[in-house]
Structure 1
């Protein structure tokens, strides 16, 4: 008799377990008086320590890129710490997850995502141009550069199955784009916008645009908001640096997005902090393309988007506190313990080098060149951090700015003058109301 009861108990348990597997967890609703918190971590360009070494060749490589490759793991450690502490509802990664798409980098990055997700945060990824079929996947050993194994499109979806692809309610047949439904009334349209891996340019073909319209129809049937997440930019974030950053056919994409009522696009790729908007004269709809700056690039920050069905969207950036993290975790690296100073010098050395070379060729006195370069550096730091126009007032009133303004037409002058003729003074905060 006891054996019979035990067997029945086991069968009942198996039945309930099987039923639970067949019936996925119900998708929650964001109530009118509630809000959800989303983090945007753009272009982390993760590079495993296994792929690096302390050598002159690796140091030379570090000096050729704008991103602080040596510490991409530390930056993600801090993000993991932030996520565990603050428990955002969603974290999205709009592409360029890895540095040049090596398999080792992808597999380690996925392990990091698993830790971030362990406290209940929903995580979604899309690929960037660096992530797939990258012939420049590399590693450093014996003071030499070696080619590493990359991954293809199928392998990307397999590795990141638990971060969007496995729960997609619709997949585009032509790209790695998908539609996710983290909430009944807030959906994510995760777009794969790379035109031809690993080339930098972006494009969304007509078939994918038709699929996007069908996704919008599905969302409207359930009265759901739909946020777009994509690697490339929808709008030009610079008057002089836009080629291969903005999707090639952005007019067609923009028209489609206006027609279906998209309000928010979360992008990356250009590595600067910038927000641009466009209002349709036909529909009256306004789209905001929020380009969050790259995590390993100065000013080392991520985005936070809070959505409320009654209040709308509130976006702001949050800077990584690397020095605090280094102290609390007893790290011994002096660069991390004095990170604010180190990161500024890295920015000057790596992102202002060409500006210094250009200024050096101008017919100016040594003192004028020095003053001009000081101003260019300070304005460039603010520019990458998301500040324009009147936010640069103290630098506009400097002697160095007067020198740059008086130059004959050249790249330096066009670049600097563009900073004071932009759409927004502060690209680190934005409120988008509900219509």
Structure 2
């Protein structure tokens, strides 16, 4: 097997990458057609043949979809598939050598080493759901590489030709990102980034050319799903002159939003807002990077029109909450490329009741169908959970390992190797479950472990401790399904 088949030995991550996908970059700065070979990364090595790539003669596009039963169309509403934070990397931008492996191993949980297969499998799978639309709410690319956007757009074009309508909105990684890179051997080189004009051109057939209204101050637009339902696709990203992690909405865009709210009233249509960044404080620890700046203004506008639901991503964690006990609901869908590699299915009715649940991409089924010989794909359900756990273990461990003495409040203590290991393990167990929206399943037992008691005793590293405590406090339900009448 090629080098990337050993990615499961995950190590190290930087402190500010550890808690959520809203981080700007990893410690090693990161910068549907079926997966293809490398052609552009400068390398003297012979081209690597991927064991996961079937011969074109063996399969048809989206093979077998016609042999399985598709869901019936939803009556009285729209079935919406929500994907976010794919972080796709064009295959021509990596030879999967040492630098690429280091980027993955020192990352925040994204399985970039399998992003091609995960994306293909997800796009193939959702055809059976017979959705009215696929919404991709930002961070389509790894680090805004122009080629990554172009290659992903090719897959979206194939998906639309298969009968699935697609609309997209940018994320904080996607535009004017100086971290766009080519990975070759032990080196990385700058890749061509994506400008706002590039983004609109590349994805013009996935919302922009079909928009009901376009905002001239951002890449926001509205899209009519039907005569009675309209998407409000909000560009909450900051990318002038270069990208930033946090989200905000310009004054001019708020003026455009006001006009769209008024138009929706006049047209008698339901308005469903979508953005990359979070409307509510879904992450109590990383508010500045995850929640739209001054989002209370947007909340007030949406609740003033009795809009019940807001969709977002960015956090990489599966979550939902409601503003106070009577306001708007927000559903945050987790990253498609981060285990458990899932997406959301929303049934949004014309009376504005809705039902949402997640579905994990069935990678093992996809691997069998495509005659893969990759054991990690064939056994993805046992490969991916421990891989994510190892990433989070090392995030905690590396935050503690660099100094012999650790500051804990006004005291200085030396943490032993055993203490660091025990603390890292409990952090990994809790955080991995949190990403899947199921922290409630592990918290009761995890807090009984000696490592958790050490976190409470030492409160160090402070940001990790604060994040861990928030997860424990928040772990009261399964965040993978929500129904509102």
**TM-score with structure 2 setting the length:** 0.77
> SS of 1:298's equivalent?
coil
> Could you tell me how far apart the structure 2 residues matched to 1:64 and 1:261 are?
43
> SS of 2:346's equivalent?
strand
The unaligned stretches of length 5 or more in structure 2 are: 1-72, 407-412
- C-alpha change, 1:54 and 1:421, in structure 2 (3 Å) is closer
- C-alpha change, 1:32 and 1:109, in structure 2 (3 Å) is closer
Aligned to 1:303: 344
> SS of 2:359's equivalent?
strand
Aligned to 1:198: 243
Aligned to 2:437: 386
Q: Is the 8 A contact 2:99 2:185 kept in 1?
A: no
Residues 262-285 of structure 1 deviation map (CA, whole Å, 9 limit, x = unaligned): 2211111111111121048xxx5x
- C-alpha change, 1:391 and 1:220, in structure 2 (3 Å) is farther
Aligned to 1:63: 105
Q: Which of these two proteins has the greater Rg computed from alpha carbons?
A: 1
- C-alpha change, 1:61 and 1:367, in structure 2 (3 Å) is closer
Aligned to 1:400: 451
CA shift, 1:223, in A, is 2.2
> SS of 2:290's equivalent?
coil
Residue 110 (structure 1) aligned with residue 153 (structure 2): yes
**Which of 92, 95, 102 is equivalent to 1:53?**
95
**Which of 425, 431, 434 is equivalent to 2:483?**
431
> SS of 2:291's equivalent?
coil
- C-alpha change, 1:97 and 1:32, in structure 2 (3 Å) is closer
CA shift, 1:211, in A, is 1.1
CA shift, 1:222, in A, is 2.5
CA shift, 1:110, in A, is 0.7
> Could you tell me how far apart the structure 1 residues matched to 2:170 and 2:250 are?
17
Q: Is the 8 A contact 1:136 1:147 kept in 2?
A: yes
> Could you tell me how far apart the structure 2 residues matched to 1:368 and 1:32 are?
53
> Could you tell me how far apart the structure 2 residues matched to 1:404 and 1:201 are?
29
Aligned to 2:395: 354
Higher relative contact order (CA 8 A, sep 6+): 2
Structure 1 residues 242-391: aligned runs within 5 Å: 242-279=287-324, 286-310=327-351, 312-358=353-399, 363-364=414-415, 366-389=417-440
Q: Is the 8 A contact 2:175 2:243 kept in 1?
A: yes
Residue 417 (structure 1) aligned with residue 469 (structure 2): yes
> SS of 1:314's equivalent?
strand
Q: Is the 8 A contact 1:356 1:373 kept in 2?
A: yes
- C-alpha change, 1:423 and 1:172, in structure 2 (3 Å) is farther
CA shift, 1:32, in A, is 11
Aligned to 1:215: 260
> SS of 2:431's equivalent?
helix
Q: Is the 8 A contact 2:138 2:168 kept in 1?
A: yes
Residues 133-188 of structure 1 deviation map (CA, whole Å, 9 limit, x = unaligned): 22221112354211111221122112111111111111111000001111111110
> SS of 2:472's equivalent?
coil
Q: Is the 8 A contact 1:177 1:191 kept in 2?
A: yes
Q: Is the 8 A contact 1:45 1:98 kept in 2?
A: yes
> SS of 1:420's equivalent?
helix
Residues 286-314 of structure 1 deviation map (CA, whole Å, 9 limit, x = unaligned): 21121111111122111111112247111
- C-alpha change, 1:358 and 1:137, in structure 2 (3 Å) is closer
Aligned to 1:23: none
> Could you tell me how far apart the structure 2 residues matched to 1:267 and 1:53 are?
33
- C-alpha change, 1:224 and 1:278, in structure 2 (3 Å) is same
CA shift, 1:351, in A, is 3.0
Q: Is the 8 A contact 1:138 1:148 kept in 2?
A: yes
Residue 161 (structure 1) aligned with residue 204 (structure 2): yes
> Could you tell me how far apart the structure 2 residues matched to 1:216 and 1:370 are?
53
CA shift, 1:51, in A, is 0.7
**TM-score with structure 1 setting the length:** 0.86
> SS of 1:36's equivalent?
strand
CA shift, 1:107, in A, is 1.1
- C-alpha change, 1:179 and 1:311, in structure 2 (3 Å) is closer
Q: Is the 8 A contact 1:275 1:424 kept in 2?
A: no
